[in-house]
Chains A and B, each alone.
Chain A
């Protein structure tokens, strides 16, 4: 897998658009989980993804494969998502205002309803976190990155990342306590 990825990277660096597309699609889920986790449900997720791909392509010639392509692309996406979140945080009163307008967001029947409720509660709970607390929590628990890697992505020390994780967990613990109790 690594050698195949390495070969795609080299081809993409030589201008092979097909190789770049293979790299992008192989890592798409991971990158979108990071962006979606930081921004929540909103149209900007797709704009940030688009900008991240353009940025990645622009920076590709300088990518030295010191990390995996996945980590590198996720880092670009995370930083763009954080910038976007800073821009829109104050402008938007209710981050879930789009939820009812996106295909697939309708509450389904029975068991899916509970999952949908939990998802909405979680999205609201994540809104109580700062940008960095949210980014750290999402990257840790949806991607399984080590705190050291997250620190490298966000440009801060491992100890700082650890503190963000503690703060995020404490806040979420309070906000999601009713949902936990209902289990």
Chain B
């Protein structure tokens, strides 16, 4: 194969991009010329090479769950559909489209509520993805104020029983660009934990951080937040699995210990035995190993069965 033009034809032939007549010519060439045949085999080898990495199914599921948590529940989507509808209506009105669009936006703002901030726990953010820039927890009242959106700041105040507060805290957890806000949101969730059962969206967002967060400090806070949220109720299955996955991962000692402590505090079951055995036999930290062994004893899996 000495001709670049022929190489390109072979590439296109292998890729199925030639017209029938050209493809027939190249096919004949490949069948009759040893050099062309070898070059074609080489190109086919490249095309068949494993071009995509093997991916972690758990991480995929976690990414999907995080995306859904960010998207939020369908009521938010319906607000967006309403907004789109109003905008479309405005586009269709002539000859004063700008005025119509303005009216539509005013109407939309009216629908969503239009407070400048303060104690408005019933106000809901317009979309699942809001820019949270301030979170304050008031120990005296046991309520938090979360400020969001710029340049015109809005705020919601309340506790985890208030959907708006839970939603904006969830949005804050999803703000991958601002670790400070995420850390503050996790602290606030923990502080508010006794105030009500969280929305599953918020819980899913925290579980997502436990599974995939790279920053150890945030991961640790996420585990503590889960621990506090479910202090007096059953740990959801996804949360339990995320803790087991942390326990058997290469997370730092502090994170693994927090995961183990949380599991131990929330009714571990025999289903956890496989992961716990792995920890007993392979974890580098003696505290984690002995904690896992104690947990196995608690759930009725004798240590002698480990071998």
Q: Which residues of A contact B (CB under 8 A)?
A: 13-17, 21, 24-25, 28, 32-33, 36-37, 40-41, 43, 45-47, 49-51, 53-54, 57-58, 61-62, 101-105, 115, 118-119, 122-123, 125-126, 137-138, 140-142, 144, 146-147, 162, 165-166, 169-170, 172-173, 176-177, 179-180, 183
Contacts and interface: CB of A to CB of B under 8 A. Distances in A.
B20 interface: no
B53 interface: yes
A135 to B, nearest CB: 11
Interface stretch (B43-51, B217-225, B293-301): B43-51
B246 to A, nearest CB: 13
13 contacts: A13-B81, A17-B73, A17-B77, A21-B68, A43-B212, A46-B62, A46-B212, A47-B176, A61-B81, A103-B56, A141-B46, A165-B11, A166-B8
Interface of B: 7-8, 11-12, 15-17, 42-43, 45-56, 58-60, 62-64, 66-68, 70-71, 73-75, 77-78, 80-81, 84, 129, 176, 212, 214, 250
B64 A24 contact: yes
Given A17-B68, A54-B129, A166-B11, A142 B52 contact: yes
B84 A61 contact: yes
Contacts of B66: 50
Contact of B51 (A37, A46, A58, A61): A37
Given A15-B74, A57-B77, A166-B8, A126 B51 contact: yes
A92 to B, nearest CB: 13
A40 B55 CA distance: 10
B273 to A, nearest CB: 19
Contact of B46 (A49, A105, A172): A172
Contacts of A147: 15, 17
Contact of A142 (B15, B45, B51): B51
A28 B60 contact: yes
A162 B12 contact: yes
A161 to B, nearest CB: 10
A101 B53 CA distance: 13
Given A15-B74, A50-B66, A61-B81, A173 B43 contact: yes
Given A41-B53, A54-B71, A176-B46, 4 more contacts: A50-B63, A53-B64, A105-B54, A179-B45
B51 A53 contact: no
Contacts of A28: 60, 64
Contacts of B12: 162
Nearest to A166: B8
Contacts of B64: 24-25, 28, 49-50, 53
Nearest to A121: B49
Looking at A37, A54, A140, the one whose CB has the most chain B CB atoms below 10 A away is A54
A13 B80 CA distance: 10
Nearest to B211: A46
B60 A36 contact: no
Contact of A140 (B15, B58, B176): B15
B22 to A, nearest CB: 14
A54 B52 contact: no
Nearest to B85: A61
A115 B46 contact: no
Contacts of B80: 58, 61
B51 A15 contact: no
A14 B176 CA distance: 28
Contacts of A142: 51-52
Contacts of B15: 140-141, 147, 165
A84 to B, nearest CB: 12
B74 A17 contact: yes
B41 to A, nearest CB: 8
Contacts of A180: 42, 45
Going nearest first, the 5 A-B pairs with the smallest beta carbon separation are A53-B67, A41-B53, A46-B63, A15-B77, A36-B52
Contacts of A14: 81
A47 B63 contact: yes
A101 B214 CA distance: 13
